[in-house]
Structure 1
Amino acid sequence: MKFHLAINLERLDASLDMKAVRDHTLEMVQMAEAAGFEIAWAAEHHALEMTIAPNPFQILTWWGEHTKTIRLGVGVANAAYWHPIKLAGEAAMLDLLSDGRLEFGIGSGAYQREFDRMMPGLDQRDSWQYMQESLPVVQKLWAGDYAHEGTYWQFPTATSCPKPVQDEVPIWVAARAPITFDYAVEHGCDIMSWPLTMPFSEAEAYRARLDDAIAKNGGRYDGRWALMRHTAVYDTEEDRSGAMSSLRRVLGQFGNLMMKRGEVVNGFPDPVPLEEMEGNARVDPEMLEENLMFGSPEVVVEKLAKYQKLGVDAFIYYASMGMDMDQQKRSLQLFIDKVMPAFAQKELAHAG
């Protein structure tokens, strides 16, 4: 099983210095590269301090300038927000500047609040249609001259300038719904899934959808399946408590965005009071610790083994989630020192 890192520029309040937040992400990516992580992922979100990511290509280019081997994952571009010519060119420029390290991810977005500002009138539940139109257009633009007359975009003959350095850019699709699994498998795309804070059974449901999609495709699929979880590895009660309280604080803000409850003031979402969400597995501490990649190194090894057995090709270590920057580094270092070696040994044993 491979390991990836997903990290955002994240501020929960205005007390955090923006340059320190910026530099922290690079330090985490460099730690991951030194440890042999395969991909570093950057998201796209708008007008939110908890995920400062207006253009993933910018931060990935910056990370790429300060790294040598780790691949640079767009996780993911929201297709509805991008004209395909611009999306193709931005992605290809990243591939050129990084000497061919682009992993291109595309998806359908998350928050209706964001759509209300970026694409007024578009229901987030319908945005998959933009993704399915955009992706093949981007690939054709990478190949050469192409004119398009589609439902959402129309343009005369154009091409991507520059072209990608890679002969074939890896394509990732963010998938939870069966229709997206079907599309990804049919078109040979890699798949990333995020069960949010739901139990392991949610990951099993995704595996079933992937298997169903492969069966519909005649049993053919050579792609990779990556699964993302919020991760906190700790060896002290202080860090355990800190991780849980930080996570619950962020989930209150996340609840604001998902439930459209409360205000967002200057980019900071008002948290939904947790007592209004009690009884929900998304905020119950014991359920969160069980469902997410939280725990001592030994517990995290056990949890990861379940995902490996499920057929997950890569685990995406989702950092941040409200933890202070020093604790994020301690967690990642514990993962590197005490979790990853267990899987390196398993791979060596398997190869032998």
Structure 2
Amino acid sequence: MEFGLFLQGYVPGPAAHDTDREHEAFLREVELVVLADRTNWKYAWFSEHHALTEYSHLSSSEVMMAYLARATERIHLGSGIFNLSPRVNHPVRNAERVAMLDHVSEGRFEWGTGRGAGSHEVATFNIDDTSSTRAEWDEVIREIPRMWETEAYTFQGAHFQIDKPHNILPKPYRNVHPPIWVACGNPPTFGKAGRLGIGALGFNFSPIHEMRPMIEAYKKGIAECEEPIGRYVNDNVMVTNAVLCFEDGDRARDIATRPNRGYLYSLVCLYHDTFPKPDWAPVWPEKPRVLDRETVDAAIAAGALLCGTPEEVAEQLQAYERSGVDQLVFGVPSDLEHDEAMECIELFGNNVIGEFDKDPIHRTTRQRATVTGG
């Protein structure tokens, strides 16, 4: 089981309207990834969101990833996600920036794809029906690899057309495309990802036992994959969760009870209006419910939160390993001070990751090597 971080340019509260504090938030996230690169983390994923105030100001993640490609040495940098709707990003531009990121990172880029966060976001581009982007994704995901494989690309599709032959440049690093992923939210989409031979990005707020049907659907799909979209199968399922790892377990639990801990999730419920929501979901702008220690312990026991000392967190992680998760990714805790986030990342990286990830080579690197030959 491998580990990563998820970053999205989260700028909550009044800071969202202060360009200086917005700037500081971006630079803090850069520091977190540089530290993660030095402390055994293998992946850093970056969102692409548009016009989602407070929740995510990271609208051009390729810029941050290009910078980090030269500021890091080992960690893989992933788009979580790049929007494939031609009304948001033309397919040629997607092909170009993916290949460029693959070059400047020297093969450390992970191409995560998707369709956008919800009706508010896609309305930025005058898209009034979120379901209409599904057919666009289905068309574009097959065509971008074709752009990399020919010097005379043309296409007449339902959602975009290129009439005259063009050589789309550059081609990916070493002429083999980066690992392909797609954002997934329910068993059918996990199964579809598997049958297409691409990785599943399970962005979720569910305890691990609720993710098992998704993981099983994905692995079943992988077993049924006969014609992968890419040149190789990316057999990989990633899920997200939260971690609070500190030397003092009581301190970790106290942090989990801070008043604003649920604020990020209230923004998820506000903007991701296509996601199913539990009855207890916070309603923005109401203040989220403050958790007590008993509730925190219940969340830990249910697999909805990893919290405690490195030893406690390692024990809690065993349920994830048993579930068949290939990669576990943590959003940077929204209620941590920057020095606390750095401490958590360093402690987890140096004291926990090695218990579960003993392979120095990234799983996706090994899969890509089946085509490159090493």
Change (3 A) 1:98 1:342: closer
Determine the C-alpha separation between the residues in 2 that align with 1:180 and 1:110.
15
Q: Secondary structure at the residue paired with 1:252?
A: helix
> Could you tell me how far apart the structure 2 residues matched to 1:258 and 1:191 are?
19
**Deviation of 1:78 (Å):** 1.6
Q: C-alpha displacement at 1:204, in angstroms?
A: 0.8
For residues 9 and 243 of structure 1, the distance between their equivalents in structure 2, rounded to whole angstroms, comes to 21
Q: Tell me the alpha carbon deviations over residues 215-244 of structure 1, each in whole angstroms, 9 at most, x when there is no partner.
A: 5447x9661222221222232544433344
Q: Are 1:191 and 2:200 counterparts?
A: yes
* Secondary structure of the corresponding residue to residue 17 of structure 1: helix
Which of 23, 30, 40 is the equivalent residue of 1:26?
A: 30
Distance across 2 between alignment mates of 1:88 and 1:133: 14
How many angstroms does 1:192 deviate by? 1.9
Structure 1 position 184, deviation (Å): 2.1
1:122-161 alignment to 2 at 5 Å? 122-123=129-130, 125-144=131-150, 145-156=152-163, 157-161=165-169
Q: What is the aligned partner in structure 1 of residue 100 from structure 2?
A: 93
- Could you give the per-residue CA deviations for residues 167-186 of structure 1, whole angstroms, max 9, x where no partner exists? 23211112223443333222
Contact 1:74 1:104 in 2 (8 A): yes
Write the mapping of 1:39-50 to structure 2, written as runs, cut at 5 A. Answer: 39-48=43-52, 49-50=54-55
Report the counterpart of residue 35 of structure 1 in structure 2: 39
Q: Any conservation in 2 of the 1:92–1:160 contact (CA below 8 Å)?
A: no
* 1:223-282 residue CA offsets vs partner (Å, 9 max, x unmatched): 12222212222325444333443321222333322459xxxxxxxxx933257x899xxx
The whole-number CA distance in structure 2 between the counterparts of 1:346 and 1:292 is: 27
SS at match of 1:36: coil
2:177 to 168, 172, 184: 168
Shift in Å, 1:345:
6.8
Rounded to whole Å, the distance in 1 between the matches of 2:74 and 2:106 is 10
Match of 1:266 in 2: none
Question: Which residue identity lines up with residue 51 of structure 2 in the other structure?
Answer: A
Change (3 A) 1:259 1:32: same
Structure 1 gaps of 5+ residues are: 261-269, 348-352
Structure 1 consecutive aligned stretches of length 4 or more whose deviation exceeds 6 Å: none
Match of 2:370 in 1: none
1:7 aligns with 2:21: no
**Tell me, what secondary structure is at the counterpart of 2:343?**
helix
User: Hey, what does 1:71 align to over in structure 2?
Assistant: 76
SS of 2:216's equivalent in the other structure is helix
Q: What is the CA–CA distance in structure 1 between the aligned matches of 2:46 and 2:183, rounded to whole Å?
A: 13
SS at match of 2:181: strand
Could you tell me the TM-score, scaled by structure 1's length? 0.84
Moved more, 51-60 or 150-159: 150-159
The residue type paired with residue 134 of structure 1 is: V
User: Structure 1 residue 303 and structure 2 residue 316: aligned?
Assistant: yes
Counterpart of 2:121 in structure 1 is: 114
Task: Give how far 1:150 is off.
Answer: 1.3
Residue of structure 2 in register with 1:241 after alignment:
254
Change (3 A) 1:32 1:210: same
Give the Cα–Cα distance (whole angstroms) in 1 for the partners of residues 30 and 254 of structure 2: 26
Q: CA RMSD in A?
A: 3.0
1:350 matched to which residue of 2?
none
User: Is 1:61 aligned to 2:70, yes or no?
Assistant: no
Summarize the Cα distance change of 1:175–1:241 in structure 2 as closer, same or farther, 3 Å threshold: same
* Percent of pairs with identical residues: 23
Alignment coverage as a number of residue pairs: 332
What SS does the corresponding residue of 2:319 show, helix, strand or coil?
A: helix
Is contact 2:2-2:356 (8 Å) kept?
Answer: no
- The structure-2 alpha-carbon separation of the partners of 1:238 and 1:300, relative to structure 1 and needing over 3 Å to count, comes to closer
CA distance in 1 between counterparts of 2:359 and 2:225 reads 31
Mapped to 2, the partners of 1:162 and 1:313 lie a distance apart of: 31
Residues 222, 21 of structure 1: CA spacing in aligned structure 2 closer, same or farther, 3 A cutoff? closer
- The question of whether the paired residues in 2 share the 8 Å contact of 1:226 and 1:313 is answered with yes
| Maintained 8 Å contact 1:4/1:314 | yes
Structure-2 separation of matches of 1:250 and 1:285: 17
The residue type paired with residue 177 of structure 2 is E
- Structure 2, unmatched stretches of 5+, are 275-282, 361-374
